[in-house]
Amino acid sequence: MEYCKYHPLQGASYVCHQCNVHTCQDCNRTEHQSSEARCFVCNDTLSVQGGAFTATPFWKRLNKAFKYPFSGNGFAAIIAATLLSCLGFIMPWFVLLASAFITKYSFTCLQQTAMGQTQAPDIKEAYGGGLLLLIQITGILLIGIASVTVIAIYVGPIAGIAAICFFVLSIPASFILLAMEESFFKAINPLKQLQLMTTIGWPYLFLCLILMIMLGSVEALSFMIDDNMESMSIFLQSAVSNYYSVVMYHLMGYALFQYQDKLGFVAEQDDVTKPDRTDQQLLQANVSVLVKEGDYEKAIKLYRHWLKKNPRDMVISDALFKLITSLKSKQHLTSFADQHLQLLMDNQQEFKLGVSLPQIKLIWPDYKPQQAKVRYQLAKYLFDKGDFPSTAKMLKDFHKAFPNDQQVLPAYKMMVETLEFIPGMDKQAVKFRAVVQKLEQQQPSESRAVKKKISFSTHHADNPPNLSLSPKVEDEEDKPLDYGQIEFTP
């Protein structure tokens, strides 16, 4: 049995011959219920391994086996066969017809279950061929009984007992061979029977035990049914017998399905939920495989590509941040830290922000956001948190990093408030307070400069005016503010 390379506890449903890797249902690219699965690593088409590796052992799904006749047309077939048996009161040959009908239907259950179908077949499947099957089954039993008798008489009683044991154990194998090979001679061949039994192994003995218990249950229930009302008794006995017949043949079929790899055929169970995944889930499964393969660059590239199209996706942003920080990659952190922190702040994820920032600092100790808006908002977060030294460090040299940004004034207003909470920073607070006053005085001048630069004239609708948002300074009073020498050492 092969297991998924990436989930070692799960059986493999697919194999990639290019990579020589076995995978489960989740570790492949199967998009929107597509029947074709592809490898996440090489994108080659995967070969189906069948359901043998993912099948639940038949002894662990007995509850489903007993519910099987109530799926599909199973219940209708049981009632039909039971009614035909009851008509035997009128015409005895209806009993033979009922036996042929339920036998053919039960064999169809075995065949279709072996191919992975978990719903009882259409009742139409039992319309023809039942009488021939009934004759073949009778022939198998008669030949088996005759063989045991001959061995007991001519070889000896001990050999006869051994022959009886083999005959009893071989009955399910004979029926399975008859259903799957559709050959009477293969079904009565002891070598074929023995090959099937040894291929399945000890679970075959357990299957025989379960079937015997069921047969005993049929006889016990038939004995318990009151015979005073003859017609009702026949109806109930027939219904119970038909029900157990469908269950038993279904179990034999499932045993074939479970051990298909040993028996040499491939079938996929139809009630296994195939991954009907969203694009996001498919991406995460892809990245999971790439990470386990050690292809971190491709995994990060896939995440970044997704976030370009879906910049507000918190789930993928978190996943990419965890991947980058686990790799301790300052290179990738440089281009992603601002984006991730901005998303956290926009979504008011203060707890995650409080965890993410220290993680960044471990990899990039002198980290400061490279975008003015992000740096200001992060400083505001630290200020509100009461971490004044960190706030001051975050705002230090804000005007040098972003000399023409509108965030300079509110940033240095915050710096003034911050320094008031830090002992020994009175002189620095005075300097920054002076800078704030100069900035506040300059604002009206900047507004006039903008107005001077923007001219309005009448234009055709197809030729809108060209508006410049970076006005040229025309007056002496409109020159950029000289911040002076602001030295800050918290």
pLDDT at 479: 47
Give the pLDDT mean for 46-66.
Answer: 73
Domain count, the chain: 2
User: Would you state the pLDDT for residue 107?
Assistant: 86
Q: Of 263, 284, 305, which residue is a domain's last?
A: 263
233 and 87, same structural domain?
Answer: yes
| Interval 65-82 mean pLDDT | 86
User: Is 369 a member of any domain?
Assistant: no
Predicted pLDDT at 383: 93
Whether pLDDT at 21 is above 90: no
Mean pLDDT of the region 380-398: 91
| Mean pLDDT of all residues in 183-212 | 88
Alpha-carbon Rg of the chain, whole angstroms?
A: 40
240 touches 47 (CB < 8 A): no
Instruction: Indicate if 259 and 399 belong to the same structural domain.
Output: no
Residues 361, 75: Cα–Cα separation, whole Å = 67
- What pLDDT does residue 31 have? 59
Q: Is the pLDDT of residue 448 over 70?
A: no
Residue 367 belongs to some domain of the structure: no
Mean pLDDT of the chain: 80
pLDDT of residue 473: 34
Instruction: From 263, 296, 313, give the residue that closes a domain.
Output: 263
Is 283 within 8 Å of 302 (Cβ atoms)? yes
Residue with tokens 């030729």: 463
* CB neighbourhood size of 332 (10 A): 21
User: Please, are residues 379 and 362 in contact by the beta-carbon 8 Å criterion?
Assistant: no
Looking at residue 82, its pLDDT comes to 84
Task: Please tell me which residue, 248 or 2, carries the higher pLDDT value.
Answer: 248
| 275: confidence class by pLDDT, cuts 50, 70, 90 | low
Distance CA 78, CA 240 (A): 9
Can you give the pLDDT at residue 391? 92
What's the pLDDT at 226? 55
| Mean pLDDT to the nearest integer, 65-93 | 82
Residues with Cβ within 8 Å of residue 283, at least 6 apart in sequence: 302, 303, 306, 316
- Distance of alpha carbon 340 from the chain centroid: 27
Is 5 part of a structural domain of the chain?
Answer: no
Query: Residue 113: pLDDT above 80?
Result: yes
Contact 199, 259 (CB under 8 A): yes
Separation of alpha carbons 99 and 178, rounded Å: 17
Q: Which pLDDT belongs to residue 442? A: 78
DSSP assignment, residue 20? T
Q: Are 13 and 53 in contact (CB under 8 A)?
A: yes
Which of 263, 287, 321 is a domain's end point? 263
Taking 90 as the threshold, does the pLDDT of residue 48 lie above it?
Answer: no
Residue span of the structural domain in which 232 resides: 58-263
Q: Nearest CA to 77 among 102, 112, 103? A: 102
- Distance (Å, rounded) from C-alpha 185 to C-alpha 199? 20
In a domain, 180, yes or no: yes
Q: Which two tokens stand for residue 248?
A: 């038993």
pLDDT at 191 (0 to 100): 92
In degrees, to the nearest 5, what angle opens at C-alpha 285 toward C-alphas 284 and 288? 85
Q: Put the strands of the sheet holding 21-23 in their side by side order.
A: 21-23, 14-16, 47-48
Q: Is the residue at 78 inside a domain?
A: yes
Confirm whether 419 is domain-assigned.
yes
Report yes or no on 462 lying in a domain: no
* 257 or 390, higher pLDDT: 390
| Residue 25 placed within a domain | no
- 33: closest CA among 270, 274, 271? 274
Residue 333 CB contacts under 8 Å (≥ 6 apart), including other chains: 324, 325, 360, 363, 364
**More confident site: 461 or 175:** 175
> Bridge partners of 120?
none
86 and 229, same domain (yes or no): yes
Residue 230 has a pLDDT of 59
Provide the token pair at 467.
């508006």
Average pLDDT of the segment spanning 172-193: 88
Q: Write down the pLDDT at residue 112.
A: 85
What pLDDT sits at residue 104? 87
Residue 456 has pLDDT above 50, yes or no: no
Q: pLDDT exceeding 90 applies to what percent of the chain?
A: 26
Give the percent of the chain with pLDDT over 70.
80
